[in-house]
Amino acid sequence: MLEDGREIYIPPEQWAKQQAASNEQYLRDSVEYRADCEQGEPDSCSLLAWLYEDGKGVTRDKAQANRLYARAVGLYQPPCDSGDGDACSSLAAAYRHGQGVAVDATKADTFQRRAVSLHTAACAGGTGDACRRYALELFLGDGVAKDRPAAAQTYERAVSLLDRACAADTAAACQSLYAMFAIGDGVPKDQPRADAALSRAAQLYQQACNRGDGKACRWARKLAR
């Protein structure tokens, strides 16, 4: 196993316990993803499909994975048509990798270019997560010409906007800040800052959960793990 770039030895008994814990977590995830997928949430359908594809927490079932990927594609299409850049990006990935649909590079490129256009507009309008998505697209050259300096500037804008939204009690913005600083997504890794954002996100989701928001309850449980 690698930890911080170094190979370390894990005794077989400890490895077995870690694997068992992971499988239990995947099983719990599968229950939540299934419930959310049945409610029409495409990300959950896609995540459940991945579990079936890899046999994590459920019995490996390629046919079921394909059915779930196909359901996700059908659910992503309306929001993409209505201007949701993330949904368009998900459709691009589906056609690029053949998840629930036949591989089609032309459709993948078309959906990704639409995603870039929507992310660009939303970023200009002050949506931090859209800036984060657009920055990554610029960094990778995905649906747009690769431009690392522009990506760096867009990441800076994303952090500024997300900071503002998190301070205004938007849980999703705090969660995005956590992800960025925990893994170094366009910014230097900063664990204390990541931990603070995660704590605030968990607090806000719990407050929303206490008001009866079921989706917030699921996020509160996930962030508490």
pLDDT along the chain (225 residues), means of 10: 51 56 83 93 96 94 97 98 97 97 98 98 98 97 97 98 97 97 96 97 96 88 82
Burial of 149 (0-12, 13-18, 19+ CB in 10 A): exposed
The predicted pLDDT at position 25 comes to 86
The predicted pLDDT at position 223 comes to 86
Bridge partners of 7, per DSSP, are 2
Query: Domain for residue 101, yes or no?
Result: no
CA distance 137 to 105: 17
Query: Domain for residue 207, yes or no?
Result: yes
Domain count, the chain: 1
Scan for tokens 């995830």, then name that residue: 29
Query: Domain for residue 190, yes or no?
Result: yes
Query: Domain for residue 65, yes or no?
Result: no
Query: Domain for residue 50, yes or no?
Result: no
Domain that holds residue 157: 147-225
The predicted pLDDT at position 8 comes to 58
Q: For Cα atoms 16, 21, 22, give the angle at the middle one, nearest 5 degrees.
A: 95
**Closest listed residue to residue 96, CA positions, set 109, 79, 114, 83:** 109
The predicted pLDDT at position 2 comes to 44
Query: Domain for residue 202, yes or no?
Result: yes
Question: What SS3 class is residue 7?
Answer: strand
Query: Domain for residue 157, yes or no?
Result: yes
Query: Domain for residue 109, yes or no?
Result: no
CA distance 195 to 193: 5
The predicted pLDDT at position 1 comes to 45
The predicted pLDDT at position 24 comes to 84
